[in-house]
Structure 1
Amino acid sequence: MEDTRTDPRVLRTRQLIRDAFNALIPNKDIKDITIGDITKRATINRATFYAHYADKYELMEDALSQLFKDSVMQKLSCHAELNRETLTGIIVTLCEFHESFSRQCARSYEAMSPYIESKLSKLLKDVFGHLLRPKNGMDDGAARTMSGVLSWIAYGMTKDWNKDGRKVPPERLAEQAIAALSAAAREIDGAGLPV
């Protein structure tokens, strides 16, 4: 039997469910969306929904994760490593994600923020971990620590940028962040960041 993670039928069904959720969320608050709304829109039955997701919150996390992963992967090459360009791409992608999500889902943005924060910070940690490992032979422990620090900095800064009214363009925010990180590193150990 084929692995369910790669079975084309499973992938198609999950995509159908995510698409239904994504179509509903701009028009309804997350608390008002029912499993029935999702299954009706996806043209599946409830048993099929529950075969793939425990509840609408798990679906929401999956849908947002997939959306963010797709956005990040469009900006990064498979051979990328952490440098000014990749850090800028990640920050710009986060800004675009927050802006788009808060506009399209204005009713649900605040209610969904804790779920988004948890999922995106984990995804960011994975992305930064992937970017750091090849650089200077960094060991896994150091890469995990640095990826955790960078993920929270990037996520928190872009969330605040969105909340504060998006006063500077995303590219400018990225420049400011990189300058601040470099200055902080110089203050801490006089070395600066290898970006």
Structure 2
Amino acid sequence: MPVNANDPRAKRTHDLLIRSFQELLEETNDVYAISVQDITKRASVNRATFYDHFDDKYAFLEQWMRFKFKQTLESELKDASILDMNGLHTLILAVYRFLDRFRRNFAPANGRFEPLFEAAMQKELFNLLIQWLSEVSDSEVAGEVLNATAICVSWSIFGSALQWSRQPENRSMESSARNVMIVIAASLAPVVE
């Protein structure tokens, strides 16, 4: 039977599993080396409880990355708005900084999880953008157009940050983010006028 995500006990257990994994990761810096058994042992729950909350380790890792990325965005974007160039710039830089830390802090053995983590981050960025666009767009803008805009903008920001993070020595973070902001601002104009 699936866990009710609204149940406070389920939420506490979910958060405990995430925290336990985070603690283990800080000790080992190797996602691959941390097993479900390690996580459940640290959290003092049984494996069945873990599988009540997550289908497998990959589903867990996706949730963990989405949580970490969302937490970062929320802390850096407290009062930011997509209507404000400063807010857009802050968003872009937050994504760049997160990917920069991600690349510097992960062991090479974790490379097999990169696509999973990247997809989780991009989904979270899309969710934020669709929320922002829904709040500020003209009510006559079709939902399909908002969705397409959020997809294009999230991939533009994330893709440019990902590309930059692979070779940060080629261009400064600030310079790259500023150029991306100019392009993104132009693509947002039809939706947020």
TM-score tier after normalising by the smaller chain length:
0.7 to 0.9
Q: How does 1:1-195 map to 2 (within 5 A)?
A: 4-26=4-26, 27=28, 29-77=30-78, 80-133=81-134, 134-137=136-139, 138-165=141-168, 168-181=171-184
- Tell me the distance in 2 between the aligned counterparts of 1:15 and 1:126: 21
- 9 and 169 in structure 1: CA distance in 2 versus 1, 3 angstrom threshold: farther
- Inter-partner Cα distance in structure 2 for 1:8 and 1:23: 22
| Cα pair 1:91 1:154 within 8 Å, conserved | yes
TM-score by length of 2: 0.83
* Separation in 1, partners of 2:107, 2:169: 15
Query: What amino acid maps onto 1:151 in structure 2?
Result: S
- Letter in structure 2 aligned against 1:20: S
- Using a 3 Å threshold, how does the CA distance of structure 1 residues 132 and 11 change in structure 2: closer, same or farther? same
Q: Compared with structure 1, are the counterparts of its residues 84 and 109 closer, same or farther at alpha carbon in structure 2 (3 Å cutoff)? A: farther
- Separation in 2 of the partners of 1:183 and 1:165? 25
Q: Do the aligned residues in 2 keep the contact of 1:95 with 1:170 (CA within 8 Å)?
A: yes
1:80 is paired with a residue whose SS is coil
Structure 1: 5+ residue stretches without partners? 187-191
Any idea what SS the aligned residue of 2:152 has? helix
Asked if the contact 1:132/1:147 (under 8 Å) is kept, the reply is yes
TM-score (ref. length: structure 1): 0.82
The letter for the 1-side match of 2:145 is: A
Q: Output the CA distance in 1 between the equivalents of 2:89 and 2:66.
A: 20
CA RMSD of aligned residues (A): 2.8
> Given that residues 122 and 155 in structure 2 are in contact (C-alpha distance below 8 angstroms), is that contact kept between their aligned partners in structure 1?
yes
Q: Matched residue of 1:95: which SS?
A: helix
The aligned length equals: 188
Q: Once the two structures are superposed, what CA deviation does each residue of 1:148-172 show, in whole Å capped at 9, x if it has no partner?
A: 0011111111111111035555443
* Contact 1:25/1:105, CA 8 A, preserved across alignment: no
Answer 1 or 2: which has greater helix percent.
2
Q: Distance in 2 between matches of 1:162 and 1:100?
A: 9
Q: Please state how far the C-alpha of 1:79 moved relative to its aligned partner.
A: 8.1
What code does the residue aligned with 1:135 have? S
Unpaired runs of 5+ in structure 2?
none
Contact 1:129 1:147 in 2 (8 A): yes
Displacement of 1:115 in angstroms is 0.5
Matches of 2:187 and 2:36 in 1, distance apart?
Answer: 47
Q: Is contact 1:35-1:56 (8 Å) kept?
A: yes
Q: CA–CA distance in 2 between the matches of 1:47 and 1:70?
A: 27
Distance 1:97 1:19, change over 3 A: same
